[in-house]
Amino acid sequence: MFLGENLLPLLVLAMGAALVVGHGLALVRPPATPRADELPRAPAARSLAMIAIGLVAAVWALASLTS
């Protein structure tokens, strides 16, 4: 297989981890001075939903890689 057998689980792990870290940081540390066309803070419900989706994807990928 091109680029190894575990390409898909590794990509899912990377995307899931990026969702968790990115949205988590957006909630914890909003920008000090947002631009005029930006929200002052990230929407909490959407960010928490994306964190949950990313966490499920990352855990699933880790389980696939370890089994």
Q: Which residue has the higher pLDDT, 40 or 49?
A: 49
Write the CA distances from 7 to 3, 13, 44, 55, 64, integer angstroms.
6, 10, 32, 19, 11
Q: Which residue has the higher pLDDT, 46 or 32?
A: 46
24-30: long-range contacts at Cβ-Cβ below 8 A with a sequence spacing of 24 or more?
24/51
* 30 has pLDDT over 90: no
